[in-house]
Amino acid sequence: MAYNFDEIIERRDTNSTKWTEYPPDVLPLWVADMDFRTPEPIRAALRAALDRGVLGYEFLQPRTQQVVAARMERLYGWQVDPDWVVATTGVVSGFNIAARAVCEPGDGVLVQPPVYHMFYSVHKNIGLTKQVAPFDFEEDGNVLIPKLDLDAFAHSFHSNEARTRMFLLCHPHNPMGNVFNRDELLGMAEICLQNDALIVSDEIHSELLLNGSKHIPLATLSDEIVDKTVTLVAPSKTFNTAGLFCAFAIIPNAELRERFKKVNEQITGHVSSLGIIAAEAAFSGACDDWLAKLLVYLKGNRDLVVDYLTENFPAARFTIPNATYLQWIDFGAYVKSGQITDTPHKFFLEKARVALNDGSVFGEGCENFVRLNFGSPRSMLEEGLERMRKAMDKK
Ligand X SMILES: Cc1ncc(COP(=O)(O)O)c(C=O)c1O
Residues that bind ligand X (CB under 6 A): 32, 90-92, 116, 170, 174, 202, 204, 234, 236, 242, 247
In the bound state with ligand X, the residue whose beta carbon lies nearer, of 29 and 242, is 242
Show Cβ contacts of residue 255 under 8 Å, excluding neighbours closer than 6 positions: none
Strand 369-373 versus strand 326-330 pairing type:
antiparallel
In the bound state with ligand X, the residue whose beta carbon lies nearer, of 108 and 375, is 375
* Phi, psi torsion values for 129, nearest 5 degrees: -100, 130
Shortest separation between residue 92's beta carbon and ligand X, angstroms? 3
In the bound state with ligand X, the residue whose beta carbon lies nearer, of 131 and 201, is 201
Shortest separation between residue 172's beta carbon and ligand X, angstroms? 8
Shortest separation between residue 204's beta carbon and ligand X, angstroms? 4
Shortest separation between residue 207's beta carbon and ligand X, angstroms? 13
How far, in Å, CA of 331 to CA of 317, rounded? 7
Q: Give me Rg for the CA atoms of the chain.
A: 21
How far, in Å, CA of 353 to CA of 24, rounded? 9
In the bound state with ligand X, the residue whose beta carbon lies nearer, of 142 and 357, is 357
Shortest separation between residue 271's beta carbon and ligand X, angstroms? 10
Interior/surface letters 265-288, b for 16+ CB within 10 angstroms, e for the rest: eeebebbbbbbbbbbbbbbbebbb
In the bound state with ligand X, the residue whose beta carbon lies nearer, of 103 and 168, is 168
In the bound state with ligand X, the residue whose beta carbon lies nearer, of 92 and 226, is 92
Tell me which DSSP letter residue 361 carries: G
Residue number closest to ligand X, CB atom: 90
Residues 362 and 369 sit within 8 Å (Cβ to Cβ):
yes
Shortest separation between residue 14's beta carbon and ligand X, angstroms? 17
Shortest separation between residue 80's beta carbon and ligand X, angstroms? 19
Question: Order of strands, edge to edge, in the sheet holding 108-111?
Answer: 85-88, 247-250, 229-233, 198-202, 164-170, 108-111, 129-132
In the bound state with ligand X, the residue whose beta carbon lies nearer, of 92 and 385, is 92
How far, in Å, CA of 236 to CA of 359, rounded? 23
